[in-house]
């Protein structure tokens, strides 16, 4: 299980447009990096998911979530006209 949260728990994913963009990138990234999603929940300030990892495991997780967090931060910061703002705090994985 993996959990990630926004910096200072701010509700950056508070609208349908923001959630849709995040979910589209999340699902596409899982497929690209070989993760088989089993369940997930996305809220305004954090998300959780359960998935089967590919053989690369932690390395592909780090790459996938790094890409996801970077790309969603750029998108959200453009929407809010706050370029360079930190959006994501960190993620935690539990075997």
For the record, the structure tokens of 58 come out as 């932690």
Number of independent structural domains in the chain: 1
Residue 35: give the domain boundaries: 2-93
Residue 49: alpha-carbon gap to chain centroid: 10
Per-residue pLDDT tens digits for 17-76: 999 999 999 999 999 999 999 999 999 999 999 999 998 877 899 999 999 999 999 999
Q: What pLDDT is stored for residue 57 in this prediction?
A: 78
Q: Is pLDDT at 95 greater than 80 in this prediction?
A: no
CA distances from 29 to 5, 39, 70, 83 (A): 18, 15, 12, 23
Cβ contacts of 90 within 8 Å, gap of 6 or more: 4, 5
Specify the higher pLDDT residue, 58 or 2. Answer: 2
pLDDT-based confidence at 94, cuts 50/70/90?
confident
CA distances from 93 to 28, 30, 49, 50, 61 (A): 20, 15, 9, 10, 9
Q: What pLDDT is stored for residue 39 in this prediction?
A: 98
Give me the CATH number covering residue 29. Answer: 3.30.70.1290
Specify the 3-state DSSP secondary structure of 42.
Answer: strand
């Amino acid at each position: 299980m993996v959990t990630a949260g926004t910096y200072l728990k701010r509700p950056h994913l508070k609208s349908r447009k923001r959630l849709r963009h995040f979910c589209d990138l999340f699902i596409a990234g899982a497929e690209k990096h070989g993760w088989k999603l089993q369940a997930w929940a996305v809220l305004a300030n954090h998300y959780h998911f359960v998935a089967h990892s590919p053989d690369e495991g932690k390395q592909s997780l780090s790459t996938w979530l790094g890409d996801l967090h970077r790309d969603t931060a750029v998108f959200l910061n453009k929407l809010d006209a706050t370029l360079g703002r930190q959006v994501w705090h960190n993620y935690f994985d539990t075997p």
